[in-house]
Amino acid sequence: MRAVVITGVSRGLGAAFFDVANARGDRILAVGRHFTPDQQEQRDERPTDVMLFSTDLADAHWLPDHDTLRSFLRGSDEAVLIHNAAVVDPIGEVGKLTTEAITNAIAVNLTAPIVLTNTFLRAAPRDARLRVLFISSGAARRIIDGWALYCTTKAAGETFIDVVGSQVQNDERISVVNIDPGMMDTGMQESIRRAAGSGIYFPGKQRWVDAHTEGKLAEPVAVAERILKEHAS
């Protein structure tokens, strides 16, 4: 049995991960603030296999704890943790960002993946294959002016995953990887385009506007299928 933990499933790539995992019969623990009506229906139809854990990912004290994950993962021969949830805000000029926006970005994009990875590795069955997937971005390795928090937290998240990968490199059961999914047609892209039209500091905004206009954004379901086929099948 394969058990999959996914953060941020209400839209975009997270919703696609949920749909693909559900279609192939995986047990799912979806973690986030919001869930779609279809996801709630799936929970009602598969109550022992689909669990919706409602929480604010910005508060590490309310993430799934050791007992919750151990109970969910019990009996699985493959356990997958997908760090999908992320926020691109705040976009703008350093010196004009709010403390609340800064701390929220760090909490969601970096603290939550660190805490959940730590808990997941401790709670997972000792004989199961373990997969930890950090959904990163090209912004982790390329400076995007105006995206100080997103670039910083994604780069730091990749570093954390690389360190964990080094720790488990001699354990064939465990795979820990960073994944750049590329530009997709998601709610995050909508947020970026809104920021581009708002007049805030974002020098390279035209690239994101053009990607949407020119139809260069990938469909999330196709990306989710590819990632799960390559890393968790």
Residues 27 and 58: their CA atoms lie apart, in Å, by: 25
Residues 228 and 80: their CA atoms lie apart, in Å, by: 10
Question: Is a pLDDT exceeding 70 seen at residue 5?
Answer: yes
Question: What pLDDT digit, counting tens, does each position of 57-97 carry?
Answer: 999 999 999 999 999 999 999 999 999 999 999 999 999 99
The mean pLDDT value for 196-202 works out to 76
Question: Is a pLDDT exceeding 80 seen at residue 228?
Answer: yes
Window from 5-19, 47-61, 212-226 with minimum mean pLDDT: 212-226
Question: Is a pLDDT exceeding 90 seen at residue 107?
Answer: yes
- Torsions phi, psi of 30, nearest 5? -95, 130
pLDDT at residue 171 in the model: 97
For tokens 């151990």, the residue is 70
The pTM score is: 0.95
User: To the nearest whole number, what is the mean pLDDT of the chain?
Assistant: 94
In the chain the domains, ranked by start, together with CATH numbers, are: 2-231 (3.40.50.720)
pLDDT at residue 208 in the model: 66
Question: What pLDDT digit, counting tens, does each position of 149-169 carry?
Answer: 999 999 999 999 999 999 999
- Specify the DSSP class assigned to residue 139: G
- The contacts found for 137-146 with CB under 8 angstroms, 24 or more apart, are 137/86, 137/180, 137/181, 138/180, 138/182, 140/178, 140/180, 144/204, 145/201, 145/202, 145/203, 145/204, 146/91, 146/92, 146/93, 146/200, 146/201, 146/202, 146/203, 146/204, 146/205
What type of residue sits at position 34? H
Contact 209, 193 (CB under 8 A): yes
Contact 152, 111 (CB under 8 A): no
What type of residue sits at position 130? L
